[in-house]
Amino acid sequence: MRTVKKLTGLGVDAQIVLVNKNPYHYQTTELHEVAAGTKEPADITFDVARTFANKKNVQVLIDEVIRIDQDAKSVELKNNAPLQYDYLVNSLGFESETFGIKGANENGWPIVDIDTALAARKHLEDTLKRYKSSHDPNDLRIIVCGAGFTSIEYIGELVYRMPKLAKQYGFPLDEVKIECIEAGPRILGMFDQNLSQWGVEYLEKKGVNFHVSTPITEVKSNAVMSNDQEFTANTIIWTTGVRGSHVIADSGYDQKRNRVVVADDLRVNGQPDQFLIGDVSGVANPGNGRLYPTTAQISIAEADCAAQNLAALLKGQPTKKFVFNALGTVCSLGPKVGIASIDMFGHWNLKGWIAGVAKKLIADRSTLELTNIRTMLGND
Ligand code: NAD
């Protein structure tokens, strides 16, 4: 969506078809808030067709992409006839990754789109509500699988909302147990030690138990196994990571976990009419040759670069190399608090409400750039 918005501002003479599965677009960085119930879907979504209502050369088509026929240069859709293209920008996003762990699909609640976030929230609320009549301690136990950003940000929202839920559903707050189970040796290991420690202690003080070096090997209907160790709970949130859209593998790309390593101008090697950006794209850091992690920040930069390079091709000009200057990392620990490592005008480690403000400013700026000031202020 951002690429289209940018392209329309670059004065290209082209017919653009934007295919989107839903009539709305959502900020993926805020899905954990919908799952925890601190935000409603309307707070993080906006209408795609309305965003482009006054752009005559943009057609919005609500449909699901099934496959890309790279030889025939066509996009196969679920409900409409295939679309032929001269140029394709593929930004089909991510899906939950289970790494083939037994029972993860069936028994874990992922947070990967609006529907799954709402389903996870409904299950949590129903289970907490049930405690009043069941008195089953597992109804008050929540296991969060993995301790990546999604898990930690979800837990931050959850501990913020829990006192209100306890009041609403009449369960004892001090009997709620949130267990976060992580395979790696550290929590928030991407931050400096003092910052990650502050974040971990902040959540521990709110009753969260972290288990590191504890790889999950199986997920049962009300238990998570790490080899012989068993953790029981009636709510199991599955946030152990993501993979790109299955359409990538289904379309025969040379891929790993549905991510394709692209050329330095974001085009697909051997397919000069295709750009791949976001979670389906593997972009190498020229500094060390390793792929950048797929974050919202890099996806935004890729969308802008793909728009500029596509405009250049349409004007018969050469493309430019993608350059990424990371501005840092922010991890929220609830609606108002967080930790942040910012690289702007020097290096800044922030913790507490100031990091929460930084996160909100970044989210608002992203919404503003995609839509308009009314949407950002919540008046749409
Ligand atoms: P992630 O890959 O960042 O984290 C998943 C975590 O689960 C890892 O710590 C991993 O060690 C753990 N894990 C995997 N398998 C496990 C197992 N079997 N048992 C126990 N633990 C296991 O995934 P994510 O949190 O969904 O984030 C996806 C991407 O989006 C990442 O690149 C992330 O940086 C980005 N993101 C960024 C932000 C932010 O910048 N604030 C917020 C959300 C997501």
Model pLDDT for residues 344-375, shown as the tens digit of each residue: 777 888 888 877 777 766 666 555 565 554 44
Helix orientation angle between 193-205 and 149-169, rounded to the nearest 10 degrees:
20
* Residues composing the chain: 380
Q: What confidence tens digit (pLDDT) does each residue in 150-204 have? A: 999 999 999 999 999 999 999 999 999 999 999 999 999 889 999 999 999 999 9
Q: What is the pLDDT of residue 365?
A: 58
Instruction: Using the predicted structure, report yes or no on whether residue 86 has a pLDDT greater than 90.
Output: yes
pLDDT at 342 exceeding the cut of 80: yes
Q: Report yes or no on whether pTM surpasses 0.85.
A: yes
SS3 sequence of 303-332: HHHHHHHHHHHHCCCCCCCCCCCCCEEEEE
The C-alpha atoms of residue 154 and residue 172 are separated, in whole angstroms, by 21
Q: Stretch 23-40: mean pLDDT, rounded?
A: 96
Q: What percent of the chain has pLDDT over 90?
A: 81
Question: How far away, in angstroms, is 257 Cα from ligand 1 center?
Answer: 14
Is the Cβ atom of 372 under 6 angstroms away from ligand 1?
Answer: no
Tell me how far apart the terminal alpha carbons of the chain are, to the nearest angstrom.
18
Q: Is the CB of 189 under 6 A from ligand 1?
A: no
277-303 pLDDT tens trace:
999 999 999 999 999 999 888 999 999
Rg (CA), the chain: 22
Task: Count Cβ neighbours within 10 Å for each residue of 256-293 and write b for 16 or more, e otherwise.
Answer: ebbbbbbbebbbbeebeebbbbbbbbbbeeeeeeeebe
d(CA 4, CA 14): 11
pLDDT at 376 exceeding the cut of 50: no
Residue 286 in tokens: 């020229």
Mean pLDDT value across residues 71-93:
97
Q: Give the whole-angstrom CA distance, residue 212 versus residue 170.
A: 32
Q: Using the mean position of ligand 1's atoms as its centre, give its distance from the Cα of residue 26 in Å.
A: 19
CA-CA-CA-CA dihedral for 51, 57, 58, 61, to nearest 10: 140
Q: Which of 33, 76, 95, 153 is catalytic?
A: 153
| pLDDT band, residue 218 (cuts 50/70/90) | very high
CA angle, 124 as apex, 123 and 127 as ends, to 5°? Answer: 85
Is residue 113 pLDDT above 90, yes or no? yes
Look at residue 94 and tell me whether its pLDDT is greater than 80: yes
CA 113 to chain centre: 8
Cα–Cα distance list, 379 to 28, 50, 269, 366, 371 (Å): 20, 14, 43, 16, 12
How many whole angstroms separate alpha carbon 128 and alpha carbon 121? Answer: 11
CA gap 23, 50 in Å, rounded? 10
Q: Which two tokens stand for residue 178?
A: 């949130």
Evaluate whether 59 touches 271 at the Cβ level (below 8 Å): no
Instruction: Name the β-bridge partners of 219.
Output: 224
Q: Given the DSSP bridges, would you call strands 260-261 and 109-110 parallel, antiparallel or unpaired?
A: unpaired
Task: Look at residue 190 in the predicted model and tell me its pLDDT.
Answer: 86
| Ligand 1 binding pocket mutation candidate from 211, 240, 366 (most atoms within 8 A of CB) | 240
Q: What is the mean pLDDT of the chain?
A: 93
Q: Whose CA is nearest to atom 2 of ligand 1?
A: 241
Q: Which residue has the higher pLDDT, 261 or 356?
A: 261
Q: What are phi and psi of 108, to 5 degrees?
A: -100, 150
- 75 ligand 1 Cβ < 6 A: no
In this prediction, residue 345 carries a pLDDT of: 78
Q: How many angstroms separate the alpha carbon of residue 332 from the centre of ligand 1? A: 14
